[in-house]
Amino acid sequence: MPREMIGCCGAYCKTCKVYVQGLCKGCKTGYDTGERDISKAKCAIKVCCIRRGLSSCADCEAYGDCGMVSAFYAHESYKYKKYKQATEYIRAQGYEAFLRNADCWNGAYGAYNVPAELK
Ligand code: SF4
Ligand code: SF4
């Protein structure tokens, strides 16, 4: 369940204000149960990631060469840099370490403050 709350691009849905307010279903919830249909999803990153059976782009063997995700991360807004940081943190440290940080956030991204000995 916690990993399901990590968006394919690295945004963390569980602490995202829009999700917390009940205005969004989250990136990945409901596709495995049939409540939502991935063929109707608008986000191409999500469609690609879920069709590949991945938890996020962090698990993708094509990550380093993927123009779609690199173009997404190249957008100007600060949040895209943080989503990229999340994905690269997961690739380096794993999901459990990521979640120990992310569960303390107040939005879809945040800081990485968990002491190294707990990672
Ligand atoms: S931008 Fe796409 S991949 Fe990222 S959280 Fe939103 S729907 Fe998921
Ligand atoms: S190909 Fe790109 S968008 Fe698709 S899962 Fe891999 S990194 Fe994500």
Asked if the model's pLDDT at residue 117 lies above 80, the reply is no
pLDDT at 113: 80
Which residue has the least CA distance to atom 8 on ligand 2? 57
Distance between CA 26 and CA 16 in Å, rounded? 9
**Nearest residue (CA) to ligand 1, atom 7:** 27
Helix (H, G, I), strand (E, B) or coil at 34: coil
Which is the closest atom of ligand 2 to the Cα of 57?
8
Task: State the ligand closest to the CA atom of 57.
Answer: 2
How far apart CA 70 and CA 64 sit, in angstroms, is: 8
HSE on the CB side for 62, CA within 13 Å? 10
Q: What per-residue string of b and e applies to 42-52 under the rule 16 or more CB within 10 Å gives b?
A: eeebbebbbee
pTM of the shown model: 0.93
The string of pLDDT tens digits covering residues 21-59 is: 999 999 999 999 999 999 999 999 999 999 999 999 999
At residue 18, the pLDDT reads 97
pLDDT at 84 over 80: yes
What is the model's pLDDT at position 2?
A: 85
